[in-house]
Amino acid sequence: MAYDELVKRCIDLCQQCETACLTCADACLNEKDIDMLRDCIKTDLECAEICGVTARILALNGDFQKDIVRLCQQLCEACAEECEKHAGHGMEHCEACAKACRACAEACKKLVA
């Protein structure tokens, strides 16, 4: 894929991941067993922040885009790991979030390759 196409794809997946993280955080806040989801909510919020700013810096074609994309990859992997802990326990929002994080991390990785 051309760089331009990789950028478009990365923006899309960052935005989908941002949404999945915030949706997951909100759903966690409504779960009966919120106690075990504290780290998940926190990681969701941090990941959503970085995914959002990465999409915007890419759209602005910023000079530091590769640096923020590299950081975004790390955050998405960390958030995926956390969400995967709960994905098998009936937490569909965590499963969806983990998937979105993995897809975003992959797109980030390809962009800076």
Binding site for its own copies (CB under 8 A): 11, 15, 18-19, 22-23, 25-26, 29-30, 34-35, 38, 41-43, 45-46, 48-50, 52-53, 55-57, 59-64, 67-68, 71, 74-75, 78
* Least CB distance to its own copies at residue 109 (A): 16
Q: DSSP alpha helices (H): ranges in 30-61?
A: 38-59
Phi and psi at 102, nearest 5°, equal -65, -45
> What are all long-range contacts of 52-59, with beta carbons under 8 Å and residues at least 24 apart?
52/14, 52/15, 52/18, 54/10, 54/14, 54/108, 55/10, 55/11, 55/14, 55/15, 55/18, 58/7, 58/10, 58/11, 58/14, 59/11
Select 73 or 87, whichever has its Cβ closest to its own copies: 73
What's the min distance (Å) between Cβ of 47 and its own copies? 9
Q: How far is the CB of 35 from its own copies (least distance, A)?
A: 6
Query: Looking at beta carbons only, is 67 or 92 nearer to its own copies?
Result: 67
What minimum distance in Å lies between the beta carbon of 25 and its own copies?
7
